[in-house]
Structure 1
């Protein structure tokens, strides 16, 4: 198969997945409870911004409703008909004052409504981000970073128009339509009924459009999620893409995703755009009825010319809110499509939850026990199979074994990123499920092989381990792990901006910063997961010297493929397929000539061969 055909096949697979996802998403009915839940974010402003905006809206709407009566009935039927100049001047002044009041009311409404909407969007985004941060690792295992970003950014942004304009405009238009209908029926019931005959027909046709429009906007949200996920993945993996010369294939895949996104927007906007011409057609029919039947009523003296003029004004005012209601309905459909996705995340419960009455860890010693622990990441494979082990306070325990033997899983369970499928993990005699998560993790520091450096300065990145640390404490931690020298050589020392993911630093330098960050936190339990894998031998020697002092008094779990780094460990646990096959000190295990002995020999033979 050629590379071009392979890329086309990949894109087609994506398109098929996309259509399946939409079919699953569109069958849900309109969720009124979800709308009420969305509007609940207005509660904090129910006695401040919301009533102020509504008061301004009611003032401007009342003025607009009063103006046609003054223009038609009073100006035409009295001032002009009776040639009363004084009354005409008075009415012109009154109309000018009313429009000035309307202008001020609208200005205040727009200001307060935008303030209200931005506050609601801020609160919702903060709530979602805070919630996502507390979710368990299983949540992130099954979702790409791009799809999560779409929910927090794009989906919440799509609610902005609803909260800044939609809700108040909806109330304003409903109030305007109600007021117009009441006034028209008072002026002439016959002419009103004749004009409004088009409304039931318009309502029936518009309801037919709702499901299709809603489906279309759901498709837009799903496609945006896929597009952002692919963009995030492509940018993060650009070095791999370029190293394998896969730019063309990646571009072809992007073209497929981008085309799907373009088509979803085109379809959604086309269907949404059908509403306004339909309203304008209804307006034209209503105007024709007004002219024809209104002229007849004037001739039969059932209405006056002034009433006819007022009707003309009100009819023009009537169809604008109808048209806006269609736009608001589209906004509402977009908001529902987005809110479904937002609330899906907000309803996600952490797999790792605190029990009621969970305790704070006090005077932590770091005594860790595994009691018949079994764990599976999924139903297909068991990561740990009924293991029991003990790590005494202050001990350095090394975990060794082939890839997939369960070493990192043990570290994950100690940090309670996951809960055991069976059995229990204890710290100082307490089941981890009975301990508050923050209390547990504040006493644990982890250094991973894949170091993450945040945008900011060197000082800020090290201080991430303990935000209240002084500059002197940060520098001391850097010195202890051997990072101080290379930091001093940087342009601005500890105030050097490291950019996203620490791109200006080498892999080894990033690793040293993560050591300093972990040690600054002064944990009672320290986990080093392949932490020296990316560091050269000379730097590793410096770290090993510092570690002898720093690991003293702490329970330390060291996972390493370089077996030379764990010779001095108090206990070495050898794992294989989730089971402990042997444990002891380096000398004891070498004397047994078991699996550990084979691993050490194999590693030294490999080094000799190099």
Structure 2
């Protein structure tokens, strides 16, 4: 039974099945992304490649020097002659070891610097791009997957940059270098050893193919574990309030089990590949030792040559372990890079025009000209809205849930673009404005009133980071927030804690109003800004509301009609259409929808 539960969850959240997620394969985009990150360092990368070649050449020369010392340095000493040849060999050996050590130090230092710069640029790109993507994307792309892309996937790429390429280059140079040297040392033994090479190639090809498929599943499963964990911990209050601990634990157990199973598959692949390589290597070494020993006894080969041959043979098979590790790292990083490339390749649905129109002076007139909009094709939310809000007017939008109120607000803020018609600011289509300019003139305050980590002052100046302390205090005073700020332990320097947890709902609302007041937009949108407040807090906010709305165009969305009282005009919406329009006092005297809503609200207060 549990299998069905968690597999359904898995299928629902799977990156591959998601209609908005990165589609596989993204190999071309992943390669382009990697090359673009490394392009600024191509000279350094070329120098590092030379260092690796020199370092490995020094390492490969060690067995040859050992052979020289055994065959040409020791015999003269044994016969009572000078030790000059052996001294030269030892000196050369010390020199190549020093070259190898210095090369390794330089490589690790420089490659580490390049790797960290690449990762920094990648993190910046991912963060910047997530910030540019439209609200519709973030509505459907879970926060857990965002976390997975920016942490888990980048960590996999970091491991590749730190160890992967170095291991691969070293292993390839060692394998081909030793293969050549084996043939040069003794062509008969060399060709005998190279018989094992096709077997190793087949093993490596099999491992690469299987691990590529497995590691994509690993990345998907890892993302699901993060998604479930983040969603549960973010909504822990709701989880505990509705006694969902066991259910969420069951779901988490399911995705965690899947993650374990897929990781076990990777271990099984390694369990076949590594012993297979060792088996081939040990058999080859045994054959070489028998045949080489026989030839030494026959006088066809020197002991030094056989010793060098065995050392090179060990070098020949050792890189297979490094190649295996590289495949593990590479497949993990490749899958992660494909995920990131998929996100980075996704263009924002809301983009700046090629030639933005400048608005030297904004009055704040808003006009909906035949605006149609639908979240789901074929299901219109706004069938063709015609609406003009003169500059400086405060308009309240009321109506049942799903009437289109918040959709109107999101279209004015350009979180979405209309599917038909146009939304205009002072006669200019919002799609013809640069987003930076639009956001400077249009601000939306929602009921969430999100508080960011930092102080009260930091949160007030969120929309104007350059604002002075005096301007921050003035904004707080204008909306009446200075009274409660004065009671905080450190005043404006008080840390608001996670998501403003140190503040009450009313206090967070006042800070949001102070933030909007300081930003000083021409058009202000309040979406259910007082819905979460109790009566005393609402009255406190109502006083601030009149100050915030003064001298600017405002749209107020509210279920509480006490908030509507500040409006110059009320629009009653139903199914995306305006069914009543007029001053609140005039509509109350009538017998329409707003009058009925007002009467019901008054009776609820008794």
Q: Same fold (TM over 0.5)?
A: yes
Q: 1:22 to 1:561 in 2, by over 3 A?
A: closer
Match of 2:340 in 1: 342
Report if aligned partners of 2:453, 2:496 keep a CA contact under 8 Å in 1. yes
In the other structure, the counterpart of 1:382 is 380
Residues 32-67 of structure 1 deviation map (CA, whole Å, 9 limit, x = unaligned):
66335324311122223x244334323321211112
| Alignment-derived partner of residue 61 in structure 1 | 56
Task: Compute the displacement of 1:137 (Å).
Answer: 1.1
C-alpha contact 1:448 1:529 (8 A) present in aligned 2: yes
Mapping of residues 137-216 of structure 1, within 5 Å: 137-216=135-214
Q: CA deviation at 1:283?
A: 1.5
1:435 pairs with one of 413, 424, 433 = 433
Question: Is 1:230 aligned with 2:236?
Answer: no
Q: TM-score, normalised by structure 1?
A: 0.93
Q: Aligned residue for 2:71? A: 77
Deviation, structure 1 residue 171: 2.0
Structure 2: 5+ residue stretches without partners: none
Alpha-carbon contact 1:26-1:215 (below 8 Å) kept: no
Displacement of 1:17 in angstroms is 5.5
Match of 2:419 in 1: 421
SS at match of 1:159: helix
Task: Give CA deviations for 1:554-609 in whole Å, capped at 9, x if unaligned.
Answer: 1111111122222242221111011111211112323442121121112112222x
Q: Which moved more, 1:364-373 or 1:495-504?
A: 495-504
* Alpha carbons of structure 1 residues 39 and 344: separation in structure 2 relative to 1, 3 Å: same
- How far off is 1:434 after superposition? 0.8
Cα distance per residue 1:444-481 (max 9 Å; x no partner): 22211112111111111111121000111111111222
**Residues 1:132 and 2:126 are matched in the alignment:** no
Q: For each residue in 1:290-348, what CA deviation from the matched residue of structure 2 results, as whole angstroms up to 9, or x when unmatched?
A: 21232344355544332222211211111122221121122111112212211111111
- Asked whether the equivalents of residues 478 and 547 of structure 2 are also in contact (C-alpha less than 8 Å), the reply is no
**Is 2:568 the counterpart of 1:574?**
no
What is the match of residue 104 of structure 1? 102
Q: 1:193 to 1:63 in 2, by over 3 A?
A: same
Query: Which residue matches 2:6?
Result: 11
Corresponding residue for residue 46 of structure 1: 42
Instruction: Please tell me whether the aligned partners of residues 70 and 304 of structure 2 are also in contact (alpha carbons under 8 angstroms).
Output: yes
**Counterparts of 2:482 and 2:100 in 1: how far apart (Å)?**
66
Is 1:170–1:325's contact at 8 Å kept on the other side of the alignment? yes
**Cα displacement string for residues 411-448 of structure 1 (whole angstroms, at most 9, x for unaligned residues):** 10011100001111111111111111111011122211
| Cα separation, 2, equivalents of 1:391 and 1:55 | 68
Distance in 2 separating the partners of 1:286 and 1:27: 44
Give the superposition deviation at 1:379.
2.2
Contact 2:367/2:389, CA 8 A, preserved across alignment: yes
- CA deviation map 1:385-422 (0-9, x unaligned): 10110111111111111111111111100111000011
Q: Residues 372 and 421 of structure 2 are in contact (CA less than 8 Å); yes or no, is this contact kept in structure 1? A: yes
Residue number among 268, 274, 277 corresponding to 2:266 in the alignment: 268
1:126 positional shift: 1.3
Cα 1:121/1:70, change in 2 over 3 Å: same
- CA distance, structure 2, for counterparts of residue 33 and residue 82 of structure 1: 63
SS in 2 for 1:489: coil
1:524-563 to structure 2, matched below 5 A, reads 524-563=522-561
Q: 1:30 to 1:345 in 2, by over 3 A?
A: closer
**CA distance 1:230–1:104, shift in 2 (3 Å):** same
Q: Whole-Å Cα distance in 1 between the matches of residues 417 and 500 of structure 2?
A: 32
Matches of 1:284 and 1:51, distance apart in 2: 36
- Partner secondary structure for residue 227 of structure 1: helix
Distance 1:521 1:276 in 2: 63
Retained in 2: the 8 A contact 1:213–1:272? no
CA distance, structure 1, for counterparts of residue 61 and residue 492 of structure 2:
68
Match of 2:457 among 441, 459, 463: 459
* Corresponding residue to 2:246 among 245, 248, 254: 248
Residues 568 and 586, structure 1, Cα contact 8 Å, conserved in 2: no
Q: Contact conserved, 1:113 with 1:165, CA < 8 A, in 2?
A: no
The answer (yes or no) to whether the contact 2:29–2:338 under 8 Å persists in 1 is no
The answer (yes or no) to whether the contact 2:372–2:420 under 8 Å persists in 1 is: yes
Contact 1:22 1:222 in 2 (8 A): no
Offset of residue 21 of structure 1: 5.5
Match of 1:31?
27
CA distance in 1: counterparts of 2:59 and 2:602, whole angstroms: 89
CA positional deviation for 1:120? 1.3
Q: Would the alpha carbon gap of residues 26 and 383 (structure 1) be closer, same or farther in structure 2, given more than 3 Å must change?
A: closer
In the alignment, is residue 311 of structure 1 matched against residue 309 of structure 2? yes
Q: Is the 8 A contact 1:481 1:542 kept in 2?
A: no
**How many residues matched?**
601
2:499 counterpart residue number? 501
Instruction: Tell me which residue corresponds to 1:588.
Output: 586
Which residue is equivalent to 1:402? 400
Output the TM-score relative to the length of structure 2: 0.94
- The CA deviation string for residues 529-577 of structure 1, in whole angstroms up to 9 with x for no partner, is 1112233434433443344343232111111112222224222111101
CA distance in 1, matches of 2:98, 2:407: 70
Q: Larger deviation: 352-361 or 11-20?
A: 11-20
Would the aligned equivalents of 2:15 and 2:220 in 1 still touch at CA under 8 Å? no
Deviation at 1:140, TM superposition (A): 1.2
Q: Please state whether the residue corresponding to 2:370 is helix, strand or coil.
A: strand
The secondary structure found in structure 2 opposite 1:580 is: strand
Which residue in 2 is equivalent to 1:92?
90
Contact 2:203 2:273 in 1 (8 A): no
Residues 388 and 248 of structure 1, relative CA distance in 2, 3 Å threshold = same
Distance change >3 Å, CA 28–CA 204, structure 1 → 2 = farther
Structure 1 residue 79 displacement after superposition: 0.9
CA deviations 1:211-265 (Å, max 9, x no partner) are 3222221111111111111111111111112222232222222222222222222
**CA offsets per residue over residues 465-523 of structure 1, 9 Å max, x none?**
21000111111111222211111111111111122111121122111111111111111
